[in-house]
Structure formats: C-alpha cells, structure tokens
Homo-oligomer: A and B are copies of this chain.
Amino acid sequence: MIDFAATKALFHIPDGVIYLDGNSLGAMPKSAAARAKSMISDEWGEMLIRGWNDAGWMEQPKRVGDLVARLIGAAPGTVVMGDTLSIKVYQALASALEMNPDRKVVVSDNGNFPTDLYIADGLIKSLDKGHVLKTPNPEDVESLIKEDLAVLMLTHVDYRTGRMYDMKRITTLAHEAGAIVIWDLAHSAGAVPVDLAGCEADFAVGCTYKYLNGGPGAPAFIYVRPDHAKTVRPALSGWLGHAAPFAFDLEYSPAPDVSRMRVGTPPVIQMTVLEEAMKAWDGVEMADIRARSIELCDQFIAGVEASCPMLELASPRDANKRGSQVSFRFENGYAVMQALIARGVIGDFRAPDIIRFGFTPLYIDNNDVDGAVKILAEIMETCAWDKPEFHKRNAVT
C-alpha cells in the first residue's frame, strides 16, 4: 500500500490552496527546481556538447519512456517521449491510415479534446485521399465500428465529464472489424490503470503535464505495439528517428523500434524535470492509485450532492466508468469556478457549463476533499444564483 502522506510531501501546494486541477497541470514536485538547476549548471554548463553522451541526454526519451510505460501497461522499450501530444496524435494517425489504405473512415467522438480532431482534420486534408472523420456522440461510437472503419481514435477519459471507455472491449471490437486503434491517454496516464499490451492496442499517445506532474509543456509520449514498431512508416521522419542519426546519411532509414517515432532534438531541460517528477512513481502501483482515486471522487460526489442541490453531476456515477475527475453542470459554472478559485479551491471550467475537479491521489487527501466541498457549498448557498441580476453580472462573454 502506498504511503499517501509521504507522496503528498513530495509536492509543493501553495498555502491556502486546495488543488483540484492536476488533470490540467500537475503540481510541482519539490525537487523539480533543484534538478533543473543542477541539469543546467552541471550538465549544460560544464559538459556543454558532451552532455549528449556524458549526461545521457540522447537516450533520455527512451529511458523516461520506460518509466511511463510501466504505468500504462506497456513493455519496456515500447514508449518514447518527445514533442507534444498534438504531434504524437498526428504521427499515430498518419501511420495508422497507411496501415489500412483501402479504408477511408476515421471515427473519434464529439467529446474528444479538440486538438485530436483538428489534427485528424488537418492530416485528412493534407492527404486528400477521401478520408472522412466521423465524430458521433461517445455512446454511439460502437455503432460505427464496421467494415469500412480504418482507424478508431479515441480519448480514453473524456476531458470534460471524466467518462471512461472500456478500452479492452472497444479495442477488441475494432480489431474484429479490421480497424487500427489509437488511444489518447492524456487523462489516463497516472490517473487510472491502463493495460495497453493486454488490450493489444495499436498506438497510444499522451501527455505528462497532468497526472505525471512533468511541468507546463512537459514532453508527450507515444506507444507503438511492438510488432508494428518494426514496420510502420513514420510520417514525421526526423533525424533522431533514424537508425543511425550521426551517420548523417542522406537517405532516411528508420530505427528498428519505437524510436522511429522520435523526430527532432529533444527538450532536455524539460525532459529532465519530467524524469525527476517520475520519481514520485517509484514503487507506486496503479491499482492502489485507482482505489484511492475512487475513494476521493466518491467522497466528493457524495459531499457535493448532499450540500449543493443546484449542481448536476456530469460525470458517470459508476466509478468503473469514470476517470480520476468529477464534473458538475451548472448554468453559472464559470462564475462558480471564479468564486472557488478566489477562495483557494482550484479546479477549472469548460464551456458551456462544466465545472471540473481532478483528484490526484499522490497529493490530494480526504481533508482536501472535505475542504473543497465545504467551500463550494458556502459559495452555492451565499450567492444569489437564482436571481436574474446575478446572471447578468456574471455572464460569460
């Protein structure tokens, strides 16, 4: 069992703050600044160009990838870090479409984070080969898993509601229909157990600045199923995905594994802070994180529903269908969230009416949940939410 008091002590939470927005930007590990300083002064400053070898910068994207892999049910050597989640979505989808050249349908859902849809749309326009992107309601996705489906590209946990797909079931259905499956784990990695290998998912991508606490703009990750990793053609064929980058060959020849999904020079400072942040996961099992996450989310739901009758639960009540966040709908959600933040309870608002709270067991405990419920209840009680003049004052423009 995890000593959650000990993991909480690894993070800095500002005085007076209850931080329920780790699903957007994770809190700062207390050791992050010192590690950045030592990397900059002792590695960049002293080793200069030699740091690429002597400080292990060149291998870092795979080394850190292995740390992430353990949390998402992926074997060592199947995950590599780099770029942003948007870029990784592009890489995965471009490769996936080439693997299924005779099919033209890409299915996602209208609850997906917009960048995934934008990237897919842009790629489809570039290719100009008649692909179609379909974005049904999440509950209608299964009905579109048919013989014309080229690629199913879904975000496992919905960024607004926390609704979570059954990854195993959906992947199996899509494979049975002959489709390639890409999972976006932005709200899953470090939040809920994921078993990529067990699901036989083809590709997965995700970011590390949410539940993995890598800092703003921390590098993304990409997983490629090992059998595909030897054969997929990288659309973004940069030199660090080459089998021998420092041979400076004029011809591109991809690395024999997931490293072919590397593109350009990795952001070493940012990657080093992420590597430091990953130490918080030493010895942590996702099953324990999950149990604690469900406890915290259920506690929050019960508390809010008991004290804030105007708020409507937007997340699945069934914990098995929910990630590590809880969302409520309220017409004046934006104003409620501003009031909460002013009182030190930081969550966030997603248009048009969602207030969203992330629960990160590494640093959120039962007292935080109670405190957040209490303040939310006070705000809901003391503000005249049902008065027309309030609506006018707080209208979101």
Contacts and interface: CB of A to CB of B under 8 A. Distances in A.
Interface of A: 12, 14, 17, 19, 21, 24-25, 27-28, 32-34, 36-37, 40-41, 44-46, 48-52, 57, 83-87, 90, 94, 98, 110, 113-115, 117-119, 121-123, 125-129, 135, 207, 209, 215-220, 233-240, 242, 246-252, 263-271, 273, 341, 346, 348, 350-351
B48 A41 contact: no
30 contacts: A25-B48, A25-B49, A25-B51, A27-B48, A28-B41, A28-B44, A33-B36, A44-B215, A48-B346, A49-B348, A83-B84, A83-B87, A84-B264, A85-B264, A86-B239, A86-B264, A98-B126, A110-B250, A121-B251, A122-B234, A122-B237, A216-B265, A216-B267, A216-B269, A217-B265, A217-B268, A217-B269, A218-B267, A267-B267, A269-B273
A150 B252 CA distance: 22
Assembly stoichiometry (copies): 2
A270 B119 CA distance: 24
Given A50-B341, A50-B346, A216-B269, 16 more contacts: A19-B48, A24-B49, A27-B48, A28-B48, A33-B36, A40-B215, A52-B216, A83-B84, A84-B264, A86-B238, A87-B238, A114-B242, A115-B238, A117-B252, A216-B265, A267-B267
Contacts of A19: 48
B87 A237 contact: no
Contact of A84 (B32, B235, B265): B265
B36 A250 contact: no
Nearest to A135: B250
A242 B28 contact: no
A127 B125 contact: no
A114 B239 contact: yes
A129 B126 CA distance: 11
